[in-house]
């Protein structure tokens, strides 16, 4: 009767208890951080903040204890994630490793990789970046050109990765590359390597984005020697692995909370005399969030049960990006932002940031069109 499964996850009293601890922590940590900075949410990089989260056991929460994890449920982890994002906590440093690099290593990595890397990720001390996109390989990830030539004792890597978020502050890259064949081989001949970014031959150049921030980078590999121990999983199995990595990347709650801080600021300004139109608009958006949470918790529950929720995750991300992206214009339609007005000053700053950031919401982690293509495949159309 239904193409996709969104289970109704059970109530988790442990998770709800945790929520209180997380809120108390955030209230203290974010005390002095103004909304327009919190609006950057998971683009905000703060290594100290990440270390504190690690100390509290909020990174690698679901991983086995032997790898520094905390063996908590995916619903408990979900609570920490959503509380962080809704508050606009600067989680970027550990975010990628916690969300996708760690789980990928747990699933496909060697024992040595798991033992050396995962505990440090969980401690909030080791940060990872995603090495997928390239100049000629964006949506078409299988067109990857970066090549890791097998040589004595390892690989020699040449090529360029692009848009690598916080590549300049990360310790490791999970590099998706070609170990045999050429771009016409598509999915075949690709592999993943765990690359220490201190390795000689790697040049990292920041790219300024249109908000003026430096978070993504160009990462150039010139005859970089990477030892065989860096191979993640199996040689030639890269496509299968990177697809699971993307499923981890796309299934999180951050896929609809990017503009939440702005919505909260809107409510602050509206509070005294909300018009009927504003009340209806806020009610509608809150209704969207209620249902997105329901679906997203369903995705977390699928992950908990070892299922691959790639389709469901694409649905949530597509729906979520639409809501994230319409919030700025809804704010504009409800509040007259006048230069110099004290009352709307912080709303204006938060709006300004969110307007500029919004185009990326339906690009990063797979564009809207690509996600809809994935959904269409799930519908049996392609």
Partner 1 sequence: MADQESDETGALLNESAGRLFGSFDEKDIRAVEQGQWPDTAWAKVEEAGFPLALVSEAGGGFGIASAEAIALLRIAGYHAAPVPLAETMFANRLLSEAGFDVAEGPATVVVAESGAFALAKHGSDWRISGRAAGVPWARHAETIVLLVEHEGKSFVVRLKRGVASIAPAMSFANLPADDVAVDAEVAADDVRPAPASWTPQTLKAAFAALRVSEMAGALARVMEITVGYANERVQFGKPIGKQQAIQQQLAVLAGQAAACGGAADVASAAFDRLDVIAIAAAKVRAGEAASIAAPIAHQVHGAIGFTEEHRLHFFTRRLWGWRDECGSERYWSKVVGQAAIAAGAEGLWPFVVSVGAVQGA
Ligand X SMILES: Cc1cc2nc3c(=O)[nH]c(=O)nc-3n(C[C@H](O)[C@H](O)[C@H](O)COP(=O)(O)OP(=O)(O)OC[C@H]3O[C@@H](n4cnc5c(N)ncnc54)[C@H](O)[C@@H]3O)c2cc1C
Q: Which residues bind partner 1 (CB under 8 A)?
A: 1-4, 6, 8, 10-11, 13, 16, 19, 23, 82-83, 86-87, 260, 263-265, 267-268, 270-271, 274, 276, 278-284, 286-295, 298, 312, 315, 318-319, 369, 371-373, 375-376, 378-382
State the residues that interact with ligand X by CB under 6 A. Answer: 129-130, 132-133, 138-139, 163-165, 216, 360, 363-364, 366-367, 369-370
Closest CB 41 distance from ligand X, rounded Å: 12
Is 72 or 288 the residue whose CB approaches partner 1 more closely?
288
Within 10 angstroms of residue 120's Cβ, the number of other Cβ atoms is 17
Q: Which two tokens stand for residue 260?
A: 């939440």
Place of tokens 């249109």: 210
Other C-beta atoms lying within 10 Å of the C-beta of residue 144: 26
In angstroms, what is the minimal distance from the CB of 359 to ligand X? 8
Q: Which does 340 bind (CB under 5 to 8 A by kind): partner 1, ligand X, none?
A: none
Please state the closest distance from residue 372 (CB atom) to ligand X, in A: 8
Beta carbon of residue 163, minimum distance to ligand X (angstroms, whole number): 4
Question: Which CB atom, from 198 or from 271, has the smaller least distance to partner 1?
Answer: 271
From the list ligand X, partner 1, none, partner contacted by residue 236 (C-beta under 5 to 8 A by kind):
none
The widest CA-to-CA distance across the chain, in whole angstroms, is 72
Quick one: 24 or 151, whose CB is closer to partner 1?
24
Nearer Cβ to ligand X (164/190): 164
**Of partner 1, ligand X, none, which one does residue 114 interact with (CB within 5 to 8 Å by kind)?**
none
Pairing label, strands 172-178, 190-196: antiparallel
Closest CA to 144 of 204, 190, 95: 190
Q: How far is the CB of 30 from partner 1 (least distance, A)?
A: 11
Q: Least distance from C-beta 373 to ligand X, angstroms? A: 6
Name the CA dihedral angle for 317, 319, 320, 321, rounded to a multiple of 10 degrees: 80
C-alpha triplet 320, 321, 327: angle, nearest 5°: 95
Task: Take residue 225 and report the two structure tokens written for it.
Answer: 């020697």
The answer to whether 74 touches 123, Cβ cutoff 8 Å, is no
> Residue 86 touches which of partner 1, ligand X, none (CB < 5 to 8 A by kind)?
partner 1
Q: Which does 280 bind (CB under 5 to 8 A by kind): ligand X, partner 1, none?
A: partner 1
Nearer to ligand X, 73 or 160 (CB): 160
Cα–Cα distances (Å) from 191 to 162, 168, 175, 240, in that order, read 18, 23, 8, 9
Least CB distance from residue 93 to partner 1, whole Å? 22
Indicate the residue among 122 and 130 with the shorter CB distance to ligand X. Answer: 130
What is the chain's Cα-based Rg?
21
Nearest to 91, CA basis, from 317, 253, 311: 253
Q: Which residue has the tokens 């809501």?
A: 323
Which residue's CB atom is positioned nearest to ligand X? 138
Measured from the CB atom, the residue of 213 and 264 that comes closer to partner 1 is: 264
* Closest separation in Å from C-beta 135 to partner 1: 24
Residue closer to partner 1 by CB (options 52, 268) is 268
- Buried (b) or exposed (e) across 48-84, using 16+ Cβ within 10 A? ebbbebbeebbbbbbbeeebbbbebbbbbbbbbbbbb
Look at residue 163 and give the partner it binds from partner 1, ligand X, none, a contact being a CB closer than 5 to 8 Å depending on partner kind.
Answer: ligand X
How do 128-131 and 172-178 pair as beta strands? parallel
């Amino acid at each position: 009767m239904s193409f996709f499964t969104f289970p109704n996850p059970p109530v988790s009293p442990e998770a709800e208890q945790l929520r209180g601890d997380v809120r108390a922590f955030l209230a203290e940590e974010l005390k002095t951080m103004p909304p327009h900075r919190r609006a950057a949410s998971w683009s905000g990089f703060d290594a100290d903040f990440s270390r504190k989260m690690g100390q509290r056991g909020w990174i690698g929460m679901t991983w086995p204890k032997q790898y520094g994890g905390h063996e908590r449920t995916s619903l408990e982890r979900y609570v920490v994630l959503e509380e962080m994002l809704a508050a606009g906590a600067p989680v970027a440093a550990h975010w990628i490793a916690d969300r996708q690099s760690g789980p990928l290593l747990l699933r496909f990595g060697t024992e040595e990789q798991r033992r050396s890397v995962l505990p440090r990720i969980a401690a909030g001390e080791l940060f990872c970046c995603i090495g997928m996109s390239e100049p000629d390989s964006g949506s078409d990830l299988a067109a990857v050109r970066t090549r890791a030539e097998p040589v004595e004792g390892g690989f020699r890597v040449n090529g360029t990765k692009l848009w690598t978020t916080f590549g300049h502050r990360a310790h490791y890259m999970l590099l998706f590359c070609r170990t045999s064949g050429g771009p016409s081989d598509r999915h075949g001949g690709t592999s993943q390597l765990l690359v220490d970014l201190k390795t000689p031959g790697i040049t990292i150049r920041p790219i300024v984005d249109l908000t003026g921030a430096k978070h993504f980078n160009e990462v150039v590999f010139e005859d970089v020697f990477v030892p065989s121990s860096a191979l993640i999983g199996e040689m030639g199995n890269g496509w299968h692995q990177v697809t699971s990595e993307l499923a981890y990347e796309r299934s999180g709650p951050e896929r609809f909370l990017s503009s939440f801080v702005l919505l909260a600021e809107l409510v602050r300004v509206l509070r005294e005399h909300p018009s009927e139109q504003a009340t209806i608009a806020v009610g509608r958006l809150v209704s969207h969030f209620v249902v997105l949470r329901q679906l997203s918790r369903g995705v977390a529950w699928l992950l908990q049960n070892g299922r691959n929720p790639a389709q469901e995750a694409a649905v949530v991300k597509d729906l979520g990006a639409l809501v994230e992206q319409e919030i700025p214009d809804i704010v504009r339609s409800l509040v007259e932002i006048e230069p110099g007005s004290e009352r709307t000053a912080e709303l204006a700053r938060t709006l300004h940031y969110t307007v500029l950031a919004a185009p990326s919401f339906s690009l990063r982690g797979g564009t809207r069109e690509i996600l809809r293509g994935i959904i269409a495949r799930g519908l049996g159309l392609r």
